Amino acid sequence: MTQVKAAAPRALAVPDLSALSAALLLTATVLIAALAYYFLGYDQGAVSVFGSDTHVHEFVHDARHFLGFPCH
């Protein structure tokens, strides 16, 4: 019933949300994976996001060596 009236002259292009959500999902995945990679391989070695705490470094220390990251 309202369909006839709804043929409005001011038509705004509908964004393709399926493509947008795919882009968002891929970007979020890359960011989270990069964060995990950074914490595992770099944080508390040279730089430390949480001050001088070394818990993450000490915990995954052997994994760092196994995976070829620079260490002590």
Q: What residues contact residue 65 under an 8 Å CB cut-off, 6+ apart?
A: 71
Cα-based torsion angle of the residue sequence 16, 34, 39, 71 in order, rounded to the nearest 10 degrees: 180
**Integer distance in angstroms from the first to the last C-alpha of the chain?**
75
Partner interacting with residue 62 (select from Zn ion, other proteins, none; CB below 5-8 Å by kind): other proteins
> Scanning residues 5 to 64, which ones bind other proteins (CB under 8 A)?
22, 25-26, 29-30, 32-34, 36-37, 40-42, 45-47, 54-55, 58-64
Partner interacting with residue 24 (select from Zn ion, other proteins, none; CB below 5-8 Å by kind): none
**Contact in structure between 45 and 57 (CB atoms under 8 Å):** yes
The site for other proteins (CB under 8 A) is made up of: 22, 25-26, 29-30, 32-34, 36-37, 40-42, 45-47, 54-55, 58-72
